Amino acid sequence: MDLRQLRYYIQIVELGSISSAAQALHVAQPSLSQHVANLENELGTALFLRRHNGVQATEAGEVLYRHAKTVLRQVDETRAAVKAQRDTPAGQVTVGLPTSTSRVLAIPLMRAVAMRYPGVRLKLVERSTAELAEAVAAQKADLGICVEVRPHAGMHITHVLDEEIMLVARSDHPGRGPISMEELVELPLVLPGFPNSVRVLYEQALARGGLPLRLVAETASTSISLAAVAAGIGYALQPWSATRGWGTDEANDFVLRSLAPTPLFRRMSLCMSHSASMSRTCQIVGQTLLALMSELISTGAWQGVRPVVTAPAKGVAVGENK
């Protein structure tokens, strides 16, 4: 087993196809298949389930994937430190963000990391709230801002803030201030489908009040839901962050109204994969994320949120020495 084989293996797992990995790696497919066969022979177990549309890692293959990610990350960080002749953070860190959160956090994070840690290369990915925790737990992302996440053995969780979900209406909407659930159910809504956190929390609130659901459309896209609001098609339920950067005069594009009598909040947490928790570079990026989120809240640059002061829900805190 060598580092090249591990890199090849990781690419196959993440693309779910030997042929796709061969194209991405610029390696002949028969050669790549032989590397897989050599690994399986050496380890004495099957690493993939072959399917008509690609391959899927077996349980043993998932174990190898997690360890391979850790080994290659440590090698990359060691190489970078030796080249710089000092032990500075270096290497790639993949950070997953919900679309709404990325509108307030992505650019400040990129700027902070570039200024403080020039050897670190961020890879920012937007995913739905339902997909983010799964990606981190599966080691497909190093860090993620996850929503309503549950404890998982594959990652460490630090609860950070509660974000309010509000009614989003056009600027010509006549109402202002909180809106009751009874009023809200009379409005045509454009909502994400299950298992998006906004949809789950809203339907739970409806169930508590014995109220009906009225939809005009479903979409997983924040941009589409806000476009529908701007076009007068319906109303959306989104956090304040989702409306940032929309249009040319973002302060006047939408009216946001809290739900009454009990506002809806979703818990947002910083999650770090098990392999990333052993990386000093990932820990530093995690610390930077936490500090940045705290700063955005305290300065009012991120509205509609309240900080959470709790111990990590699983494992060690981000950046804790081990």
Structure letter (DSSP) for residue 234: -
**Residues found in the chain:** 322
Query: Would residue 75 count as lying in a domain?
Result: no
Same structural domain for residues 30 and 97? no
Neighbouring residues of 60: CB distance < 8 A, sequence distance ≥ 6: 43, 45, 46, 47
Q: Which helix (H) or strand (E) holds 167?
A: strand 155-170
Task: Please tell me the predicted confidence (pLDDT) of residue 66.
Answer: 84
Task: Please tell me the predicted confidence (pLDDT) of residue 310.
Answer: 56
Tokens of 133: 């925790």
Same structural domain for residues 188 and 225? yes
Query: Would residue 222 count as lying in a domain?
Result: yes
Task: Please state, in angstroms and as integers, the Cα–Cα distance from residue 145 to each residue in 27, 105, 139, 204, following that order.
Answer: 35, 10, 14, 23
Query: Would residue 61 count as lying in a domain?
Result: yes
Same structural domain for residues 253 and 184? yes
Same structural domain for residues 52 and 186? no
Tens digits of pLDDT across the chain (322 residues): 889 999 999 899 989 999 999 999 999 999 999 999 999 999 999 999 988 889 999 999 988 988 888 888 888 777 777 776 667 888 889 999 999 999 999 999 999 999 999 989 999 999 888 789 999 998 889 999 999 998 888 899 999 999 999 999 998 998 899 999 999 999 999 999 888 889 999 999 999 999 999 999 999 899 899 999 999 999 999 999 999 875 444 444 799 999 999 999 999 999 999 889 889 999 999 999 999 999 999 999 999 999 996 544 444 444 443 3
Same structural domain for residues 115 and 181? no
Query: Would residue 315 count as lying in a domain?
Result: no
Per the CB < 8 A criterion, the answer to whether 155 and 274 are in contact is yes
Same structural domain for residues 250 and 168? yes
Per the CB < 8 A criterion, the answer to whether 294 and 307 are in contact is yes
Same structural domain for residues 255 and 173? yes
Same structural domain for residues 96 and 21? no
Same structural domain for residues 216 and 234? yes
* CATH code of the domain in which 22 resides: 1.10.10.10
Handedness of CA 271, 263, 247, 302 (dihedral sign): negative
Query: Would residue 320 count as lying in a domain?
Result: no
Same structural domain for residues 94 and 229? no
Q: Count of domains in the chain? A: 3
Same structural domain for residues 199 and 286? no
Tokens of 138: 């599966």
Rounded Cα distance between 55 and 40, Å, is 14
* Residue where one domain finishes, among candidates 37, 68, 99: 68
* CATH code of the domain in which 294 resides: 3.40.190.10
Tokens of 9: 């293996």
Same structural domain for residues 181 and 148? no
Task: Please state, in angstroms and as integers, the Cα–Cα distance from residue 231 to each residue in 189, 234, 257, following that order.
Answer: 13, 8, 18
Q: Domain range for residue 115?
A: 85-153+275-307
Neighbours of 120 (CB within 10 A): 21
